[in-house]
Amino acid sequence: MKVAVRVIPCLDVKDGRVVKGTHFRDLRDAGDPVELASRYGSEGADELTFLDISASEQGRATTLEMVKRCAEQIFIPLTVGGGIRSKEDVDRLLRAGADKVSVNTAAIIRPELIDEIASTFGSQVLVVSVDARRESSQSSGFEVTTHGGRQSAGRDALSWAKEASERGAGEVLLNSMDADGTRDGFDLEMISLFRQELSLPLIASGGAGKIEDFPRAVEAGADAVLAASVFHFGTVSIDAAKRSIAAAGQIVRLPSQD
């Protein structure tokens, strides 16, 4: 009896539409978030993640409405991230139907945000998203970045993840900025290093391009694997990703036989 590896499609949402680009640039339209949420729910996604990359207040308001409509479509956990700076932001999203929130830049700027969210809503609602890239001057070999990978935060990604864990994060979403959007596979070295050093669940993200990438990330130590464009554009189905993880001897949740 063992908890299953989770396969999580991620919707990057800008002004009410799902978009996908390389390194957060050259964004392409990938569809309607509500339609995609519904599709992934019925295709056996274990959770759904919704990242708001809107830059404007109006975009954020649209997103809140989208979160509500997505939450109505599915009976699996929904994580929402993007632009969360306060407990009030978290409260608004939970009330809109999110089960968890993911914080990133705002927590790096003001780490106490993690303590505040965890002590008010519990660690289980809080995913700390770490956008990491290779940087040999950092002791772990990885640095953390902010603003969607555009700026260096000037600190070690692993030590930041450990601090986030101690402050009360419930999970770490480890996103490789080097691999993101390349479809060359997950950063296995990074996953393995973080898995050894952290005692909370680790979601691997960035770089999924083909079916074989998923079991490799799991073997490297990921408790969950997250991807966007390969799922949106139909390169890999949720079911195919799960079956390849199962074929490698890992446990996944498959639809019942009846």
Q: How far is the CB of 26 from other proteins (least distance, A)?
A: 33
Cβ neighbours of residue 256 under 8 Å, at least 6 residues apart?
Answer: none
Taking residue 154's Cβ as centre, other Cβ atoms within 10 Å add up to: 13
Distance (Å, whole) CA 122 – CA 156:
26
Secondary structure (3-state) at 126: strand
Cβ neighbours for 258, distance < 8 A, ≥ 6 positions apart: none
**How many chain residues touch other proteins (CB under 8 A)?**
32
Q: Does the protein bind other proteins through residue 16 (CB under 8 A)?
A: no
Nearer to other proteins, 59 or 97 (CB): 97
The 80-99 site mask, x for binding other proteins (CB under 8 A), equals --------------xx-xxx
CB-based contact 79:52 (threshold 8 Å)? no
When asked if residue 200 is in the footprint of other proteins (CB under 8 A), the reply is: yes
Catalytic residue among 131, 180, 187, 213: 131
> Using CB under 8 A, which of 36, 125, 153, 208 touches other proteins?
125
CB 65 within 8 A of CB 93: no
- CB-count burial class (<10 Å; 0-12, 13-18, 19+) for 227: buried
Does 196 interact with other proteins (rule: CB under 8 A)?
no
- Angle (nearest 5°) at CA 222 between 224 and 54: 55
Q: In the annotation, is 12 catalytic?
A: yes
Q: What is the distance, to the nearest Å, from the Cα of residue 67 to the centroid of all Cα atoms in its chain?
A: 16
Entry field: residues in the chain? 258
Q: Is 123 in the site for other proteins (CB under 8 A)?
A: yes
Residue 198 CB, nearest approach to other proteins (Å): 8
Residue 150 as a binder of other proteins (CB under 8 A): the answer is no
* Residue 258 known to be catalytic: no
Does residue 224 bind other proteins (CB under 8 A)? yes
> Binding of other proteins at residue 27 (CB under 8 A)?
no
- Give the residue numbers marked as catalytic: 12, 131
Instruction: Please report, as ranges, the residues that interact with other proteins according to CB under 8 A.
Output: 1-6, 41, 46, 71-72, 75-77, 94-95, 97-99, 121-125, 170-171, 199-201, 223-224, 253, 256
